[in-house]
């Protein structure tokens, strides 16, 4: 799946085990660092820098070294950084929903088939019980 963030196209495959093996720990680490920066002592600017650094490290870990430079081009706006993460999470949610719909389609068919296996044809004058 292509995701465009600030004019940079990233490749993300949320259904690929190898990609998810990198994404999951990186996104969890980033969220922990962002939460920690919210309560750190110091100026607002220092907290914003810490959040930006966590986001930039996330993009470099998941999509390759230098990705954050391409996306943010040296900008330090914390909302731009957080919106970039939100775009990744939104793309992941959309792909997860598509997967869920697809997999439900087959699990529902299987349960319908299984319920039909217990069905016995009515004989004249009898109730249909299994």
pTM: 0.77
What is d(CA 118, CA 130) in angstroms, rounded to the nearest whole number? 6
pLDDT of residue 57: 98
Tokens 């190898």, located at residue: 18
pLDDT of residue 100: 83
In this predicted structure, the answer to whether residue 32 has a pLDDT above a threshold of 60 is: yes
Q: What is the pLDDT of residues 93-103, one digit of tens each?
A: 999 888 888 77
What is d(CA 113, CA 81) in angstroms, rounded to the nearest whole number? 49
pLDDT of residue 54: 98
């Amino acid at each position: 799946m292509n995701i465009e963030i600030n004019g940079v196209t990233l490749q993300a495959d949320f259904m690929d085990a190898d990609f998810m093996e990198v994404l999951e720990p990186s996104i969890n680490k980033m969220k922990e660092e962002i939460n920690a920066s919210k309560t750190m002592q110091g100026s607002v600017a220092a907290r914003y820098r810490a959040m930006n650094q966590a986001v930039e490290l996330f993009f470099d870990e998941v999509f390759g070294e230098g990705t954050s430079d391409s996306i943010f081009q040296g900008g330090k706006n914390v909302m731009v950084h957080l919106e970039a993460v939100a775009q990744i999470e939104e793309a992941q949610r959309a792909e997860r929903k598509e997967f869920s719909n697809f997999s439900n389609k087959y699990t529902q068919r299987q349960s319908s088939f299984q319920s039909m296996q217990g069905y016995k044809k009515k004989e004249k004058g009898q109730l249909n019980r299994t």
